């Protein structure tokens, strides 16, 4: 089904958080202020790599209006954070490893005083050699950034014998692919309000993708029991993975506890660029061979990932990339190696696609090159080598079986845009502007959802009838623009029969919500769906039983409806939810908790549930300037039932617009560990002018009979296949294979044909 | 977005002179501590990035009377320097007679910026994207030197004004766009057989940035000329700029090709000479070589199109 307003009918709804967002009426957490609040700022390292000889704060402390200046000596608990492995200092003691490293934090009455105080803090550095190249970082003699060396993580996966496999190949493609350090570029930069309570508790109003993880990490830093910390984490003005890890929270929390006053911190864009996470730049080398019939014989991959100074989820991103360079294809022989390397460049970390974007650009590039070499249609070539529905996953692990791969493949094969490819005359010198050349390309993937084997991945939620008669849906997730609230509302209406006005949704507040796990890894909607499935019978049952008792009717005669309880085949309201809530009795409340389904394998990070997706794009290259434009996109996504059509479409369109930036525009340029692109006037994201073309999304909803996993994740798949599809389209248009992203205009520029040669 | 530290730290005095002479006097009084401003959009980016400090005194030129509109003068269309880019863009006189200037302004920044930014600021910066288009129409500038108003060709004023020290001595007031002589008045039509005397105007402005909108330019290129029916160039101006490059007219090349017929040989010559003559400044985002070849490609492609007879008369 093509997803759009017309095909969605009454399911196309205005999202509940929409009006507040488009009118500007909604207050984000970083918009909050309070009486008696102080301003917090962070002093960050001048150098990407330096030994800290001393930090003197005496002069700064004497400045009027300055209330606190904290250094590493003032941290009561663990001076480190990191979701997977806490190795990033909250405040550096001996050494700074990147330009975002924090040395001191200041609270003052005014922002100006705080800024002046930062300037008065005296730091003596001994500048150290900068490790800015992950390959050089692995050479003997390179400065070592951590006690364990410069390797954060290595991955290996192999099967058969690739050397033997290559000997049997008729065609072999060897290529190296490079992907950029992309920035999330959320509209709302990191920040928050940190309020100490009279009872000794601390309330943190600060965006994050997993409130309970922040609470645990802050508890470690503050040496304060988790119960004494409340994290309010939603609504968020965009995150895309970038606010998953702690950012300013440790400083706000430490300053609030130290001064006993509320602290406001809100990064400028400059500071956000300097300190914040980016997508891992990767260099992926692949050697892939096929036999004379086009069957994949051997696939050898080497991934080198620049993880920056500290861990955060760098190892997990590499695991994901390792799985996705194998992808949906079957090989006789496999040999995949990956390494994630510490450098003094910017912090790399979690970002929508999570290593899949880089992996799939390389893998799909290989498929297109091999097909061309063998003289085969690239889509037919993929079919020949694609997994069957009952095949094991990329790591030879059991996975939830669906026909997704085949369904997506077929939908692309018969879509009009793909059929148009055959008709495009390559390099025709006709028309008014013969230097403009057009091509069409496509790419395919299977994208894993959930955190994978070996990583705690809790899920769950709660439904209750509140005293005021509202149906309360309570989840530990965060709304960062993805449409989580709209999806939850729609599920409650469609699955239970409630009206929008009957519902109160409560999310992102650790004092109130159960731990539903992180709002990451394309998992939240699927886990809400599963929770509601588990809660449906008990919660509906309790409501109806209570109503039956009040109304003196049999439960089977009643149903849940908009506004309250109705008779099974009657339209009249028999009892409102308010009346139901007012009736005496035990509170009506149901809770569920479970874990994201995982594969029965030992392989850490291996996934169990996958979304299959592909995209066809039409691209125009102006060879006078070398600039490429995406004219049209056709996405096919097999992810089970569409929960919220508008949200689904928004996720695919939004993901693909980030991917367009990744492919054609975006790169955080660094020189010797310093950012060169330090603001949005030099780091360019796509504007609406860059993505004007038609975007169509076909959703394949069908799941195998008996599959009770429900909707698969769609938060990331829109962003992972576009780059290789654009590269394939550029190949058809201009005859060039792009191997480095973003594609450089100078690479695609040509001298006009009418100048002839010489 | 985020907490704005610069604004919290510094608040300069803002002066509102009523005349050019008052503005000039204020500038002399405060010297390097005072700076002329109009929309302030470019200055803001410089302060924020630390390229320049917020000065103690801002001399607001927008209050000077008579500089914020477009009017027809004796020598052409006078564009007041304090006219916002948005007003310029929506002005029908400008779009009818100087469409490439309107087009150039359309591509500058974004609507919010164009409402504040002025054409005078764009020109005074020496690197604004309207400049190549203005050069394409042989624009002049009217400026104040402390005592009198002066009129200079923009192409001659730019190298002077872009030299840092001189910038302070010259207060840009207005731009003057001479009306082009209409071809109907000059082309002599003896009879239908004498087609060689029929001429047409051709021209184009291109801004190539790093994305499709709201982008700094990498190359700006403008060409404006007259072609006979048999593709002989009767008049031509070529102006190139972009990024941090002060835009220039390629007058040497213009002389070389004036009177020549557009053919493969000439197109190759134009291409090669642009590569030789144009000296763009490079940065990490685009090399000088790319800027040269882009400018050369754009100009020869427009010439090729004009000679093919496919350009609509401007």
Measured between alpha carbons, how far is B261 from A211 in angstroms, rounded to an integer?
Answer: 72
Q: How close A480 comes to chain B (CA, Å)?
A: 17
Beta carbons of B49 and A39 less than 8 Å apart: no
pLDDT over 90 (residue B3)? no
Q: Which helix (H) or strand (E) holds A734?
A: helix A722-734
Q: What is the pLDDT of residue A682?
A: 94
Please report which confidence band the pLDDT of residue B198 belongs to, taking 50, 70 and 90 as the band edges: confident
pLDDT over 60 (residue B8)? no
Q: Is residue A351 part of a domain?
A: yes
Q: Is residue A499 part of a domain?
A: yes
Q: How close B66 comes to chain A (CA, Å)?
A: 33
Q: What is the pLDDT of residue B163?
A: 78
A76-103 pLDDT, tens digit each: 999 999 999 999 999 999 999 999 999 9
Q: Is residue A662 part of a domain?
A: yes
**Residues A427 and A497 both lie in one domain:** no
- Which of A257-261, A424-428, A519-523 is predicted with the least confidence, judged by mean pLDDT? A424-428
**Residues A329 and A311 both lie in one domain:** yes
B120-176 pLDDT, tens digit each: 999 999 999 999 999 999 999 999 999 999 999 999 999 988 876 555 678 999 999
B262-288 pLDDT, tens digit each: 999 999 999 999 999 999 999 999 999
Q: What is the pLDDT of residue B180?
A: 85
Q: What is the pLDDT of residue A620?
A: 96
**Residues A264 and A286 both lie in one domain:** no
Chain B residues in contact with A110 (beta carbon < 8 A)? 8
Q: What is the pLDDT of residue B6?
A: 61
Please report which confidence band the pLDDT of residue A463 belongs to, taking 50, 70 and 90 as the band edges: very high
Per DSSP, the three-state class of A358 is: helix
How many domains are there within chain A? 3
Q: How close A28 comes to chain B (CA, Å)?
A: 12
Beta carbons of A684 and B211 less than 8 Å apart: yes
Q: What is the pLDDT of residue B310?
A: 42
CB contact burial A540-572 (16+ within 10 A = b; e otherwise): bebbbebbbebbebeeeebbbbeebbbeeeeee
**Residues A564 and A415 both lie in one domain:** no
- Which of A6-20, A241-255, A474-488, B186-200 is predicted with the least confidence, judged by mean pLDDT? B186-200
Q: In chain A, what percentage of residues exceed pLDDT 90?
A: 97
pTM: 0.96
pLDDT over 80 (residue A327)? yes
Please report which confidence band the pLDDT of residue A163 belongs to, taking 50, 70 and 90 as the band edges: very high
Beta carbons of B267 and A754 less than 8 Å apart: yes
The Cβ of residue A333 has, within 10 Å, a number of other Cβ atoms equal to 21
Measured between alpha carbons, how far is B110 from B102 in angstroms, rounded to an integer?
Answer: 14
**Residues A478 and A409 both lie in one domain:** no
Q: Is residue A672 part of a domain?
A: yes
Candidate from B5, B298, B301 with C-beta closest to A115: B5
State which of A561, A595, A629 marks the end of a domain.
A595
Q: Is residue A177 part of a domain?
A: no
Q: Which residues contact A411 (CB under 8 A, 6 or more apart)?
A: A614, A636, A698, A700
Candidate from B9, B213, B294 with C-beta closest to A749: B294
Q: What is the pLDDT of residue A432?
A: 81
Beta carbons of B287 and A688 less than 8 Å apart: no
The complex scores an ipTM of 0.94
Candidate from A268, A671, A690 with C-beta closest to B5: A268
Is B262 part of the contact surface with chain A (CB cutoff 8 Å)? no
The whole-chain average pLDDT of chain A stands at: 96
Q: What is the pLDDT of residue A429?
A: 53
Q: What is the pLDDT of residue A427?
A: 47
Q: How close A689 comes to chain B (CA, Å)?
A: 6
Beta carbons of B264 and A756 less than 8 Å apart: yes
Q: What is the pLDDT of residue B1?
A: 45
Interface test with A, best of B4, B9, B49, B211 (most A CBs within 10 A): B211
**Residues A625 and A668 both lie in one domain:** yes
Token pair 């592909």 is at which residue? A614
Q: How close B204 comes to chain A (CA, Å)?
A: 14
**Residues A586 and A632 both lie in one domain:** no
Candidate from B2, B264, B300 with C-beta closest to A269: B2
**Residues A361 and A377 both lie in one domain:** yes
**In chain B, which among 171-210 make CB contacts under 8 A with chain A?**
208, 210
**Residues A355 and A208 both lie in one domain:** no
**Residues A218 and A289 both lie in one domain:** no
pLDDT over 80 (residue A43)? yes
Q: What is the pLDDT of residue B314?
A: 38
Beta carbons of A189 and B1 less than 8 Å apart: yes
**Residues A119 and A258 both lie in one domain:** yes
Q: In chain A, what percentage of residues exceed pLDDT 70?
A: 99
- Cβ distance A321 to A303 under 8 Å? yes
Beta carbons of A112 and B9 less than 8 Å apart: yes
A356-400 pLDDT, tens digit each: 999 999 999 999 999 999 999 999 999 999 999 999 999 999 999
Boundaries of domain holding A507? 458-595
Chain A residues in contact with B271 (beta carbon < 8 A)? 751, 755
Q: How close A659 comes to chain B (CA, Å)?
A: 15
Q: Is residue A221 part of a domain?
A: yes
Bridge partners, residue A509, by sequence: A232
Chain A residues in contact with B210 (beta carbon < 8 A)? 665, 684
Beta carbons of A267 and B2 less than 8 Å apart: yes
**Residues A532 and A435 both lie in one domain:** no
Chain B residues in contact with A746 (beta carbon < 8 A)? 286-287, 289-290
Q: Is residue A134 part of a domain?
A: no
Measured between alpha carbons, how far is B177 from A443 in angstroms, rounded to an integer?
Answer: 52
Chain B residues in contact with A657 (beta carbon < 8 A)? none
Beta carbons of B49 and A272 less than 8 Å apart: no
Q: What is the mean pLDDT of residues A676-701?
A: 96
Chain B residues in contact with A191 (beta carbon < 8 A)? 2-3
State which of A595, A625, A656 marks the end of a domain.
A595
- For A687, name the nearest residue in chain B, comparing CA atoms only: B213
A546-575 pLDDT, tens digit each: 999 999 999 999 999 999 999 999 999 999
Beta carbons of B294 and A267 less than 8 Å apart: no
The domain that contains A469 carries what CATH number?
A: 3.30.365.10
- Which of B100-104, B196-200, B248-252 is predicted with the least confidence, judged by mean pLDDT? B196-200
Q: In chain B, what percentage of residues exceed pLDDT 70?
A: 89
Candidate from B213, B264, B287 with C-beta closest to A754: B264
Q: Is residue A181 part of a domain?
A: no
Please report which confidence band the pLDDT of residue A758 belongs to, taking 50, 70 and 90 as the band edges: very low
Diameter of chain A measured on Cα atoms: 96
Q: In chain B, what are the domains?
A: 10-62 (3.30.43.10), 63-177 (3.30.465.10), 196-307 (3.30.390.50)
Is B285 part of the contact surface with chain A (CB cutoff 8 Å)? yes
Q: What is the mean pLDDT of residues B236-241?
A: 98
The Cβ of residue B183 has, within 10 Å, a number of other Cβ atoms equal to 14
pLDDT over 70 (residue B188)? no
Is B211 part of the contact surface with chain A (CB cutoff 8 Å)? yes
Beta carbons of A626 and B294 less than 8 Å apart: yes
Beta carbons of A665 and B301 less than 8 Å apart: no
A-B C-beta contacts closer than 8 Å: 113
């Amino acid at each position: 089904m093509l997803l759009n307003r017309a095909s969605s009918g009454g399911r196309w709804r205005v999202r509940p958080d929409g009006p507040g967002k488009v009118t500007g009426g909604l207050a984000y957490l970083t918009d909050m202020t309070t009486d008696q609040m102080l301003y917090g700022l962070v002093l960050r390292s001048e150098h990407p790599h330096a030994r800290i000889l001393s930090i003197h704060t005496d002069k700064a402390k004497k400045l009027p209006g300055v209330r606190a200046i904290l250094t590493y000596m003032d941290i009561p608990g663990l001076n480190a954070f990191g979701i997977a492995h806490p190795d990033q200092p909250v405040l550096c003691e001996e050494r700074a490893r990147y330009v975002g490293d924090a040395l001191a934090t200041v609270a003052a009455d005014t922002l100006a005083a705080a800024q002046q105080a930062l300037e008065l803090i005296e730091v003596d550095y001994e500048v150290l050699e900068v490790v800015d190249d992950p390959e050089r970082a692995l050479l003997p003699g390179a400065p070592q950034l951590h006690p364990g060396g410069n390797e954060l993580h290595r991955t290996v996966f192999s099967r058969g014998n690739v050397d033997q496999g290559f000997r049997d190949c008729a065609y072999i493609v060897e290529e190296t692919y490079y992907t950029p350090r992309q920035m999330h570029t959320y509209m709302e930069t990191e920040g928050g309000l940190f309020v100490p309570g009279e009872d000794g508790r601390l309330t943190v109003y600060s965006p994050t993708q997993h409130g309970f993880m922040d609470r645990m990490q802050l508890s470690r830093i503050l040496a304060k029991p988790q119960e004494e910390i409340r994290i309010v984490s939603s609504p968020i003005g965009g995150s895309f993975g970038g606010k998953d890890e702690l950012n300013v929270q440790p400083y706000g929390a430490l300053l609030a506890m130290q001064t006993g006053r509320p602290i406001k911190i809100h990064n400028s864009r400059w500071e956000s660029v300097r300190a914040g996470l980016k997508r891992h730049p990767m260099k992926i080398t692949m050697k892939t061979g096929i036999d004379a019939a086009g069957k994949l014989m051997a696939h050898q991959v080497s991934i080198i990932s620049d993880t920056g100074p500290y861990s955060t989820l760098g190892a997990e991103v590499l695991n994901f990339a390792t799985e996705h360079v194998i992808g949906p294809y079957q090989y006789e022989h496999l040999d995949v190696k990956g390494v994630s390397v510490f450098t003094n460049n910017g912090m790399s970390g979690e970002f929508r696609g999570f290593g899949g974007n880089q992996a799939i650009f390389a893998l799909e590039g290989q498929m297109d090159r091999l097909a061309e070499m063998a003289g085969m249609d690239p889509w037919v070539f993929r079919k020949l080598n694609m997994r069957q529905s009952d095949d094991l996953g990329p790591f030879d692990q059991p996975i939830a079986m669906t026909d997704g791969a085949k369904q997506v493949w077929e939908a692309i094969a018969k879509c009009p845009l793909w059929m148009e490819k055959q008709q495009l005359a390559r390099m025709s010198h006709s028309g008014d502007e013969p230097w403009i050349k057009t091509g069409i390309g496509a790419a395919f993937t299977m994208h894993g959802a959930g955190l994978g084997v070996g990583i705690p991945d809790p899920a769950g939620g709660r439904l209750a009838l509140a005293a005021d008669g509202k149906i309360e849906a309570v989840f530990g997730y965060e709304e960062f623009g993805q449409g989580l609230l709209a999806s939850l509302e729609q599920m409650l209406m469609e699955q239970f029969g409630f009206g929008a006005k009957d519902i109160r949704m409560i999310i992102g507040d650790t004092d109130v919500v159960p731990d539903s796990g992180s709002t990451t890894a394309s998992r939240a909607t699927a886990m809400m769906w599963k929770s509601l499935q588990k809660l449906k019978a008990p919660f509906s049952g309790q409501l109806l039983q209570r109503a039956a008792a009040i109304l003196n009717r049999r439960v089977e005669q009643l149903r849940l409806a908009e506004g309250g309880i109705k008779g099974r085949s009657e339209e009249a309201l028999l009892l409102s939810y308010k009346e139901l809530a007012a009736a005496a009795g035990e509170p009506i409340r149901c809770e569920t908790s479970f874990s994201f389904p995982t594969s029965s394998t030992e392989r850490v990070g291996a996934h169990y549930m996958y979304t299959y997706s592909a995209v066809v794009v039409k691209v125009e290259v102006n060879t006078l300037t070398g600039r490429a434009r995406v004219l049209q996109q056709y996405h096919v996504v097999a992810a089970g039932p569409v929960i919220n059509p508008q949200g689904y479409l928004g996720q695919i369109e939004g993901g693909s617009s980030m991917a367009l930036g990744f492919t054609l525009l975006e790169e955080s340029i660094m020189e010797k560990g310093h950012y060169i692109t330090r603001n949005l006037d030099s780091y360019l994201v796509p504007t609406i002018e860059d993505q004007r073309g038609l975007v169509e999304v076909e959703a394949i909803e069908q799941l195998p009979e008996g599959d009770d996993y429900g909707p698969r994740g769609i938060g990331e798949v829109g962003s992972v296949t576009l780059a290789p599809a654009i590269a394939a389209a550029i190949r058809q248009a201009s005859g060039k294979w792009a191997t480095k992203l973003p594609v450089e205009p100078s690479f695609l520029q040509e001298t006009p044909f009418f100048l002839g040669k010489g | 977005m985020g907490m704005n530290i610069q604004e919290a730290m510094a608040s300069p005095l803002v002066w509102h002179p009523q005349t050019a002479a008052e503005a000039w006097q204020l500038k002399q009084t405060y010297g390097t501590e005072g700076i002329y401003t109009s929309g302030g959009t470019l200055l803001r980016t410089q302060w924020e990035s630390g390229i320049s400090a917020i000065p103690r005194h801002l001399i607001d030129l927008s209050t000077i009377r008579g500089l914020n509109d477009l009017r027809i003068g004796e020598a052409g269309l006078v564009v007041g320097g304090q006219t916002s880019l948005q007003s310029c863009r929506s002005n029908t006189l400008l779009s009818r007679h100087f469409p490439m200037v309107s087009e150039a302004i359309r591509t500058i920044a974004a609507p919010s910026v164009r409402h504040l930014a002025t054409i005078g600021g764009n020109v005074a910066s020496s690197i604004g994207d309207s400049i190549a288009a203005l050069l394409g129409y042989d624009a002049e500038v009217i400026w104040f030197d402390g005592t009198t108003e002066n009129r200079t060709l923009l192409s001659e004023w730019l190298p002077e004004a872009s030299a840092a020290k001189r910038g302070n001595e010259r207060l840009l007031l207005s731009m003057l766009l001479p009306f082009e002589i209409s071809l109907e008045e000059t082309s002599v039509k003896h009879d239908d057989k004498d087609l060689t005397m029929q001429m047409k105007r051709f021209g184009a402005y291109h801004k190539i940035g790093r994305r499709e909108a709201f982008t700094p330019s990498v190359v700006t290129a403008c060409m404006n000329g007259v072609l006979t029916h048999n593709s002989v160039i009767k008049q031509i101006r070529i102006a190139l700029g972009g990024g941090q490059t002060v835009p220039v007219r390629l007058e040497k090349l213009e002389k070389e090709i004036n009177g020549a017929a557009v053919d493969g040989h000439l197109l190759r010559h134009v291409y090669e000479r642009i590569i030789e003559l144009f000296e763009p400044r490079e940065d990490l985002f685009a090399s000088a070589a790319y800027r040269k070849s882009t400018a050369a490609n754009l100009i020869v492609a427009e010439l090729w199109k004009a000679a093919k007879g496919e350009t609509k008369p401007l």
